[in-house]
């Protein structure tokens, strides 16, 4: 061993020794501290690696278990639907069943399986009839591969026989034989199956019949496991509270199957390093292993989730040991071995790293959650969107089928929301929708759903106790909260009033789509009946919707087939009561439904856009007729009604020009009538469009004046030549002073703005005289003439000198 040279230097020895010792102590101390620090760091590091692994496994396992639950829920739902249909239609034939099943499958998604079967419990007395009907059914023959076989039951005995079904894999000879035998015979070959936990099929079926519950059992063949879900069904309406009652009302069993591997694969979809195992049990029974998928060599994590779907299910998920990366512990050791300085630095680094790793993981979790939320929620209001609403509705219906709880969907649409958008701008519209969303949420209970479907359409889903007062009570509450005035930002003190219409569909349906469609049909009715109300769905609405759809189809051809006709209602000069013009009013001679008035088809034409070609036809025909009258010496003016939808396009200008050009009618003899409501939809654009029309030389009349949103202030903006005072004011002249006052104001307004006034719907002399007294310029109504065919108008024109209202008695 080499002796240090310092030892030979006298005096320097002890200092150097002391210094060496101190240094050593320091080194040891630092080393020890470093060791401790790096060990701790190593341990911490190892722990954090382990924790985050565990955490991401837990997230994945929960996801897998939730998917499995949803899939199993859908399976149980499917069997519930089967049970419902065979209960309601106990005599469904095999053919009808297959058709119905195909439809159900297209609506209710399912994991692939072997198919679905219906087994009937047939008393000996009905056996002959049952067999005759069943065996003659082509769908049944197809099911059993074309070969009918004896049932093997003993005479005089009740038998459990295959009645209908659909199979994915055609039955082999032995199976076809098996399924045709008596299922309830414990000696029959079908009476036992390997995985049933020692229970035979016959026993299982009796047990299901007594309990009314779902039975679940796996059958494994060639390494693939099929899980059967089976349930008894009973006579509709029979009491079913005790086992004896259930046995007495028993009609048979339905069963459907799914491939356990397919279900497991779907549940595991994005996770390659997980495996899943499904177990099932009825009350008090031991857990049965149903099957699973995925292979994990050396499971490091396991998780077990239990839930209730047709009995208790347990899902076990196992996760693999991560790859051969250096373990947390080794990393810690390495740290210790690196020098003291490095140890300290590394320790610090490790700590920082471990923290930022946690933060990053947290961020990932947060972002994933956010994305999930965004996909299922409406960005503006934060309410569930259509996708989530449909999903919730599906679950609600499934619960209702299982637990017989009441359910309802309320389809809500705001009245005149478009007007708010057009008038106050989109920002205001958005704000209003947010308020509406808050109010809807304040009305629903926890567990119920308020969702936004689109634009100004919302849906509220309610079930159970929330429906104690009926869906109508909920609808009343919704209407009430939505009716409260809305305050819009930046318009202090200006409150907006808005109403809503609601369609209600109550009670269980086959699917969520049906539920919402029925509610939507009821909503249509609520709108048609005048809005600000709710209407409950009735099945007759399907018929009405059908009729609308038929009329709509017919209407498309009505113009070409020449089924539209015009009647002309005279307008008179009020002081002299002489005819000065006519208003063209359209009718539809429907080949089957007879003569239809505009209220039957104009709204439909407006909805579908057919109003544009229809309106063009009316313009051409009215101008042609007026030109004929003009040439024959009666230059009277003709008024044509123009719909809002026609005003939305540039086409109107061209249509009017073409009608005038083709007929040769003088433009001044044509008046376009536009309702006040149509004008107010988008006042600026409409005013510009009307000015273009005016330049052709035609006159403009504002129809149904006094009923719209308006707006005397706007009136100046429109180049109107006359105001048609709405019939509702004229008809109430005798009983409402207010009406007379309004008429007075409108006539005066006309005089100030140099716009003619015309009163609609004059039916008696008292009304006529009041209007004459108010100095209203023109009038129209049954007192003078109803809408008339051309010949009768011509007869009147021939007598043009005679005042039209004079011969009628005052009433």
Q: How many CB atoms lie within 10 A of CB 709?
A: 14
Minimum CB distance to ligand C2E, residue 141 (Å): 59
Q: Does 185 bind Ca ion (CB under 5 A)?
A: no
Minimum CB distance to Ca ion, residue 725 (Å): 9
Binding partner of residue 766 among ligand C2E, Ca ion, none, CB cut-off 5 to 8 Å per kind: none
Minimum CB distance to ligand C2E, residue 706 (Å): 12
For Ca ion, what does the binding mask look like between residues 741 and 760, x meaning CB under 5 A? -------------------x
**HEC string for 462-505:** EEHHHHCCCHHHHHHHHHHHHHCCEECCCCCCCEECCCEEEEEE
Q: Does 704 bind Ca ion (CB under 5 A)?
A: yes
DSSP 582: E
Q: What are phi and psi of 577, to 5 degrees?
A: 60, 30
Q: How many CB atoms lie within 10 A of CB 455?
A: 13
94/602 with CB nearer ligand C2E: 602
9/529 with CB nearer ligand C2E: 529
Q: Does 612 bind ligand C2E (CB under 6 A)?
A: no
Minimum CB distance to Ca ion, residue 701 (Å): 8
Residues 658-677 that bind Ca ion (CB under 5 A): 673
For ligand C2E, what does the binding mask look like between residues 74 and 103, x meaning CB under 6 A? ------------------------------
Q: Identify the residue among 615, 706, 750, 779 touching ligand C2E (CB under 6 A).
A: 615
For residue 735, what are the contacts with CB-CB under 8 A and spacing of at least 6? none
For ligand C2E, what does the binding mask look like between residues 672 and 711, x meaning CB under 6 A? -x-----------------------------xx-------
DSSP 181: S
Q: Does 162 bind ligand C2E (CB under 6 A)?
A: no
Q: Identify the residue among 618, 652, 771, 796 touching ligand C2E (CB under 6 A).
A: 618
Q: Identify the residue among 153, 165, 429, 781 touching ligand C2E (CB under 6 A).
A: 781
Whether the CA torsion 490, 492, 495, 500 is positive or negative: it is positive
Minimum CB distance to ligand C2E, residue 786 (Å): 7
202/725 with CB nearer Ca ion: 725
Please list the residues that pair with 458 across neighbouring strands.
412, 452
Q: Identify the residue among 88, 597, 649, 745 touching ligand C2E (CB under 6 A).
A: 597
How far apart are alpha carbons 607 and 603 in whole angstroms? 6
Contact call for residues 652 and 694 (beta carbons, < 8 A): no
Minimum CB distance to ligand C2E, residue 106 (Å): 41
Rg over alpha carbons for the chain, rounded to the nearest Å, is 41
Minimum CB distance to ligand C2E, residue 676 (Å): 11
Q: Under DSSP, is residue 679 helix (H, G, I), strand (E, B) or coil?
A: helix
Residues 167-186 that bind ligand C2E (CB under 6 A): none
How far apart are alpha carbons 199 and 194 in whole angstroms? 9
Contact call for residues 418 and 644 (beta carbons, < 8 A): no
Contact call for residues 322 and 298 (beta carbons, < 8 A): no
Q: Under DSSP, is residue 413 helix (H, G, I), strand (E, B) or coil?
A: strand
Q: What share of residues in the chain are helix, strand, coil (percent, to 5)? A: 50, 20, 30
User: For residue 288, is it left (φ>0), alpha (ψ between -120 and 50) or beta?
Assistant: beta
How far apart are alpha carbons 162 and 181 in whole angstroms? 8
Q: Does 731 bind Ca ion (CB under 5 A)?
A: no
Closest CA to 105 of 138, 131, 75, 128: 75
Contact call for residues 489 and 382 (beta carbons, < 8 A): no
Minimum CB distance to ligand C2E, residue 744 (Å): 20
How far apart are alpha carbons 656 and 104 in whole angstroms? 53
Minimum CB distance to ligand C2E, residue 767 (Å): 9
Closest CA to 277 of 240, 250, 313, 308: 313
Q: Cβ-count burial of 422 within 10 angstroms (0-12 exposed, 13-18 middle, 19+ buried)?
A: middle
User: Position of tokens 């009645």?
Assistant: 163
Residues 122-141 that bind ligand C2E (CB under 6 A): none
Minimum CB distance to Ca ion, residue 634 (Å): 21
463/583 with CB nearer Ca ion: 583
153/706 with CB nearer Ca ion: 706
Q: Identify the residue among 159, 569, 625, 739 touching ligand C2E (CB under 6 A).
A: 569
Q: Identify the residue among 22, 782, 800, 810 touching ligand C2E (CB under 6 A).
A: 782
Q: Does 98 bind Ca ion (CB under 5 A)?
A: no
Please work out the total of residues on this chain that contact ligand C2E, with binding judged by CB under 6 A.
21
Closest CA to 385 of 396, 395, 372: 372
Q: Under DSSP, is residue 725 helix (H, G, I), strand (E, B) or coil?
A: strand
Please work out the total of residues on this chain that contact Ca ion, with binding judged by CB under 5 A.
5
Binding partner of residue 781 among Ca ion, ligand C2E, none, CB cut-off 5 to 8 Å per kind: ligand C2E
For ligand C2E, what does the binding mask look like between residues 727 and 766, x meaning CB under 6 A? ----------------------------------xxx---
DSSP 286: P
501/643 with CB nearer ligand C2E: 643
**147: Cα separation from own chain's centroid:** 46
Q: Does 778 bind Ca ion (CB under 5 A)?
A: no
Residues 99-138 that bind Ca ion (CB under 5 A): none
Q: Does 703 bind Ca ion (CB under 5 A)?
A: yes
Closest CA to 86 of 198, 251, 202: 251
457/577 with CB nearer ligand C2E: 577
How many helices (DSSP H) and strands (DSSP E) are in the chain?
Answer: 27, 25
Q: What are phi and psi of 159, to 5 degrees?
A: -130, 155
**457: Cα separation from own chain's centroid:** 10
Q: Does 643 bind ligand C2E (CB under 6 A)?
A: yes
525/676 with CB nearer ligand C2E: 676
Closest CA to 298 of 324, 335, 278, 331: 324
Minimum CB distance to ligand C2E, residue 671 (Å): 12
Q: Does 225 bind ligand C2E (CB under 6 A)?
A: no
Closest CA to 390 of 334, 447, 453, 436: 453
Q: Does 641 bind Ca ion (CB under 5 A)?
A: yes
Q: Identify the residue among 123, 146, 382, 598 touching ligand C2E (CB under 6 A).
A: 598
Q: Which residues form the interface with ligand C2E (CB under 6 A)?
A: 569, 585-586, 597-599, 602, 615, 618, 641, 643, 673, 703-704, 761-763, 780-782, 787
Q: Which residues form the interface with Ca ion (CB under 5 A)?
A: 641, 673, 703-704, 760
């Amino acid at each position: 061993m080499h002796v240090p040279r310092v030892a030979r230097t006298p005096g320097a020895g002890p200092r150097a020794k002391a210094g060496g010792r101190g240094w050593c102590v320091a080194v040891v101390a630092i080393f020890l501290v470093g060791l401790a620090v790096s060990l701790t760091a190593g341990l911490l590091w190892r722990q954090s690696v382990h924790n985050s692994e565990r955490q991401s496994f837990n997230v994945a396992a929960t996801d897998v278990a939730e998917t499995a639950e949803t899939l199993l829920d859908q399976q149980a739902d499917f069997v519930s639907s089967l049970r419902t249909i065979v209960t309601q239609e106990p005599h469904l034939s095999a053919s009808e069943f297959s058709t119905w099943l195909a439809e159900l499958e297209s609506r209710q998604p399912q994991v692939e399986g072997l198919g679905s079967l219906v087994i009937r419990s047939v008393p000996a007395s009905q056996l002959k009839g049952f067999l005759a009907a069943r065996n003659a059914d082509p769908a049944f023959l197809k099911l059993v591969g074309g070969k009918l076989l004896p049932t093997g039951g003993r005479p005089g005995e009740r038998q459990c026989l295959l009645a209908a079904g659909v199979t994915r894999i055609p039955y082999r000879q032995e199976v076809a034989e098996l399924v045709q035998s008596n299922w309830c015979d414990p000696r029959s070959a079908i009476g036992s199956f390997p995985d049933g936990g020692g229970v035979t099929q016959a026993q299982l079926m009796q047990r299901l019949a007594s309990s009314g519950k779902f039975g679940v059992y796996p059958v494994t063949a060639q390494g693939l496991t099929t899980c059967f879900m089976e349930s008894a069904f009973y006579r509709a309406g029979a009491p079913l509270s005790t086992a004896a009652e259930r046995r007495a009302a028993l009609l048979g069993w339905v069963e459907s199957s799914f491939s356990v591997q397919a279900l497991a694969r779907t549940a595991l979809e994005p996770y390659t390093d997980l495996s899943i195992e499904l177990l099932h049990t009825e009350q008090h029974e031991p857990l049965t292993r149903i099957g699973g998928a995925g292979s994990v060599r050396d499971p490091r994590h396991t998780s077990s989730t239990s839930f209730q779907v047709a009995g208790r299910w347990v899902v076990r998920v196992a996760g693999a040991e991560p790859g051969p990366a250096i373990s947390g512990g080794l990393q810690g050791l390495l740290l210790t071995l690196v020098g003291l300085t490095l140890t300290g630095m590394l320790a610090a680094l490790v700590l920082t790293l471990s923290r930022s790793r946690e933060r990053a993981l947290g961020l990932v979790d947060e972002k994933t959650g956010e994305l999930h939320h965004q996909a299922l929620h409406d960005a503006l209001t934060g309410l569930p969107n259509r996708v989530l609403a449909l999903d919730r509705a599906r679950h609600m219906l499934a619960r209702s089928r299982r637990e017989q709880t009441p359910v309802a969907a309320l389809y809500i649409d705001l009245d005149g929301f478009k007007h708010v958008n057009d008038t106050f701008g989109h920002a205001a519209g958005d704000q209003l929708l947010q308020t509406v969303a808050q109010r809807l949420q304040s009305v629903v209970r926890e567990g119920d759903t308020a969702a936004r479907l689109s634009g100004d359409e919302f849906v509220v889903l309610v079930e159970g106790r929330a429906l104690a007062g009926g869906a109508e009570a909920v609808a009343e509450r919704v209407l009430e909260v939505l009716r409260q005035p809305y305050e819009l930002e930046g318009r202090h003190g200006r409150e907006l009033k808005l109403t809503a219409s609601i369609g209600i569909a109550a009670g269980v349906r086959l699917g969520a789509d049906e539920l919402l469609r029925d509610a939507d049909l009821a909503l249509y009715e609520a709108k048609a009946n005048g809005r600000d109300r709710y209407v409950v769905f009735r099945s007759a609405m399907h018929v009405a919707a059908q009729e609308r759809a038929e009329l709509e189809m017919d209407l498309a051809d009505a113009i070409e087939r020449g089924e539209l006709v015009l009647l002309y209602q005279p307008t008179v000069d009020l002081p002299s009561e002489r005819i000065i013009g006519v208003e063209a009013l359209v009718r539809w001679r429907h080949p089957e439904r007879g003569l239809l008035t505009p209220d039957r088809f104009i709204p439909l034409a407006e909805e579908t856009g057919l109003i544009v070609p229809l309106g063009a036809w009316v313009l051409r025909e009215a101008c042609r007729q007026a030109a004929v009258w003009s040439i024959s010496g009666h230059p009277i003016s003709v008024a044509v009604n123009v719909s809002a939808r026609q005003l939305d396009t540039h086409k109107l200008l061209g249509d009017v020009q073409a009608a005038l050009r083709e007929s040769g009618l003088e433009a001044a003899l044509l008046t376009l009538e536009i309702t006040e409501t149509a004008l107010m939809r988008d006042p600026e654009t409409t005013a510009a469009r009307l000015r273009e029309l005016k330049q052709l030389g035609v006159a403009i009349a504002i129809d149904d004046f006094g009923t719209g949103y308006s707006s005397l202030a706007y009136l100046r903006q429109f180049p109107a030549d006359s105001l048609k005072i709405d019939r509702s004011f004229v008809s109430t002249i005798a009983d409402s002073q207010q009406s007379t006052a309004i008429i007075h104001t409108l006539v005066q307004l006309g005089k100030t703005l140099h716009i003619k006034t015309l009163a609609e719907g004059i039916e008696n002399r008292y009304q006529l005289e009041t209007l004459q007294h108010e100095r209203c310029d023109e009038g129209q109504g049954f007192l003078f003439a109803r809408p008339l065919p051309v010949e009768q108008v011509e007869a009147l024109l021939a007598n043009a000198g005679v005042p039209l209202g004079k011969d009628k008695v005052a009433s």
